[in-house]
Structure 1
């Protein structure tokens, strides 16, 4: 049993309740009680104590689109005479070469465990990862699952199926999704889940889309794929005789309920409505979209359609607060309206991501309430002005970064305390990751 006391608790419950001098009691992977510190410390005197020291206490953060496999690309020489000049060249000169070079267990394990540990340092307890390692496909998701279990977080995993590397690897990528999803046990469902991964429609033939749609329906799982990230995806669908990407995906039953449609930069209002009607999610990745110069998703149009919008990082960062800050200013920059998108962006990280995670794990997540999963973050922040239910979001937006996270608890286990990671030997792992990256760079 654990009690986190003396904090300002941001519950993110239906009333947006803020509890001053609050405490949370956990037992295993469940929140047992929440209330005032003075009451709960008296009621549970035997509980192990973590003192929040007046800081903020929030639910564990959720990253709804991540690429573990991108880790070794940080600071890497592309070994090309001419840098990429557009989105397709970024794929061809960087990412598709990276995923072909990932070819052994150490590549996969250390490229996964490093961002997981870094995420723990920044308060992230649940990650929806989208994996590619065409140099090692079979059983690759088991290696990522090993890193997830070693670190103690929750994760949804998938392999991006694609035809770009030929028929044999295409079939292997489809089979890896099927194998992993079918291998998951009941005991894992509160912390590990699988989706059917696809790269993007423009690297998949109709026959592959048809097969994936049938398999996803048979398995009863949603898909996780890039949708209209760049104009090339839209142009490819139109060349094939479709009005756009969404019509093509919908024809082949890819838009299973709960599917994560990533990016959606070049989707129309009508296409957003189709995704909404199919009970899908749009996952926004603002830093990645800006960095790749592909444009910005029309969040106002997506929201107007009733589409649920979550927030990811696309591997650009492991700090969800960074992604939040960029997401908050991008709609204002795009529209010229300083009030554009504020409520939408707040809900991405602190409402929709939690509902998304709660849909796929056997726990209610993204909220601090009795019976919810025990994913809790303590932030070293008191603020220059009072914190209340009307303004807490602006304190998080303006005053908090991942570097201020003091304690991270996932599944009821203390993963970091006093800014020291308590699981695994974090420093040894980080050193090993650097060694593996150097070896990877030689092979790239």
Structure 2
């Protein structure tokens, strides 16, 4: 048992959201109690004490849409012309990167991404993977890295038609094999979903195969949805219906499904998302980088749709994603009053609801019985900090690299910026070697 205390404690618990000098008592992988440091220490005298030294204590961050396969693109040069649109980006970058990954490179992409996530205070990652020439065992390879490091993760393989029927069926099998292996286990660290790339890379026949594949499995789908105008135009041209309408006709939407982006959706599609209880994930930096438009996230939220926040592989820092989500909507709407409440809602409330569809333990909050996913961040506020303004302090005062201690499932994974579960230097050295090999092949 241990106590993390002597810090400004944000719990995200509605009853006791903030303690000026707070502490969290942990036994096993659960939070036993939160409260004032002196009271918690007096009650649990035998527990190890982890002194936050006046820093900020809060629940670990959650990323509900990521792409581990994109890790080795960092720093890579290309001899292709500069992309003119979203399809150029896919065809000349991402669909070349994912085709060149082997299992060894997938392993080190996963290790490197998870390490950087932990160092940015992220304790749960939902990933959407692709490696068409190395489909078999790709999810299991990523899961092995997650287990060794000690991070919580939900994985899927993005099935598509773009590499032919054989690879499509390999992707379906990888998803279902992984789901059957991990989701039926009595463990709360690794789970699976059924991944699909996007409507425009899946025929009607392929959608039918995907739906049939998870019959009887208690999972949903993880799919890019109306991210770029190309997806919408393809759906209207081929099927005479919009993207969300098409997915709904196949029974793909629902409470356990993540419809990523949902940028090019209309009022009718929003109503479908609401009626089906489908989860949506907003990825502001990726949307800006790909120039696909600004998500109608505020409109979706106003309708009562659960919109979470992810990174889409653009960064491993959810504090960074929070900052951009806050300003992109102000900029697009030319209204400085918007997104103040909606941004922390997406990150701290709605991401928790998405996680709860797959993991037990009230993840993303620090209260009795919740999962012991805790971070300590180096932050000494220059103005008063309390239960009414701590989101403003997080927004303007913190970044991922402020985090110096990360605890996941009751285990200290990083302390004083040092990863304890694996040899970080060795992994990053190997990552540089394997990424160079991939670059040379490309």
Q: CA deviation at 1:78?
A: 2.1
Query: 8 Å contact 1:217–1:256 — kept in the other structure?
Result: no
CA distance in 1: counterparts of 2:251 and 2:187, whole angstroms: 25
Moved more, 20-29 or 64-73: 20-29
CA contact (8 A) 1:6 1:52 kept: yes
- SS of the equivalent of 1:170 reads helix
Is structure 2 residue 33 aligned with structure 1 residue 15?
Answer: no
Shift in Å at residue 335 of structure 1? 0.5
Contact kept in structure 2, 1:30 and 1:373, CA below 8 Å: yes
Selected match of 1:336 from 309, 331, 334: 334
Counterpart for residue 370 of structure 1: 368
C-alpha distance 30-42 of structure 1, shift in aligned 2 (>3 A):
same
Shift in Å, 1:243:
2.6
Going from structure 1 to structure 2, the CA distance change for 1:164 and 1:10 (only over 3 Å counts) comes to: same
Distance 1:372 1:423, change over 3 A: same
Aligned residue for 1:42, secondary structure, equals helix
Mapping 1:45-444, distance limit 5 Å: 45-80=45-80, 82-103=81-102, 105-184=103-182, 186-187=184-185, 189-444=187-442
Indicate if the aligned counterparts of 1:189 and 1:362 stay in contact, CA closer than 8 A: no
Q: Report the aligned-residue RMSD.
A: 1.2
Q: Alpha-carbon deviation of 1:162?
A: 0.2
SS in 1 for 2:195: strand
Give me the whole-angstrom Cα distance separating, in 1, the residues matched to 2:138 and 2:75: 24
Question: Over residues 136-161 of structure 1, what are the superposed CA-to-partner deviations in whole Å (9 max), with x where a residue is unaligned?
Answer: 00111100000110110100000000
Cα contact 1:216–1:256 (8 A) shared by 2: no
In structure 2, distance between residues paired with 1:316 and 1:117: 15
Distance in structure 2 (CA, Å) of the matches to 1:269 and 1:334: 19
**Structure-1 separation of matches of 2:401 and 2:351:** 21
TM-score by length of 1: 0.98
Residues 259-315 of structure 1 deviation map (CA, whole Å, 9 limit, x = unaligned): 101011111122122112111111000000000000011122211221101000001
Superposition deviation, residue 359 in structure 1: 2.4
The CA deviation at 1:14 is: 2.0
- Partner residue, 2:29: 29
Task: State whether residues 221 and 256 of structure 1, in contact with CA within 8 Å, keep that contact through their aligned partners in structure 2.
Answer: no
Q: What SS is found at the alignment partner of 2:22? A: strand
The question of whether the paired residues in 1 share the 8 Å contact of 2:3 and 2:25 is answered with yes
Deviation at 1:343, TM superposition (A): 1.2
Runs in 1 of length 4+ with deviation above 6 angstroms?
A: none
What runs of 5+ residues in structure 2 fail to find an aligned partner? none
Are the aligned partners of 1:65 and 1:314 in contact in 2 as well (CA < 8 Å)? yes
For the 8 Å contact 1:200–1:227, the answer to whether it is kept is yes
- C-alpha displacement at 1:242, in angstroms? 2.9
How far did 1:45 drift?
Answer: 1.9
Contact 2:183 2:191 survives alignment (8 Å): no
Separation in structure 2 between the aligned mates of residue 33 and residue 259 of structure 1, nearest angstrom: 33
The SS at the match of 2:77 is coil
2-structure distance, mates of 1:248, 1:242: 9
Q: Shift of residue 421 of structure 1?
A: 1.4
SS in 2 for 1:266: coil
SS in structure 2 opposite 1:329? Answer: helix
Where 1:253 maps in the other structure, the secondary structure is coil
Measured after TM superposition, the shift of residue 186 of structure 1 is 4.7
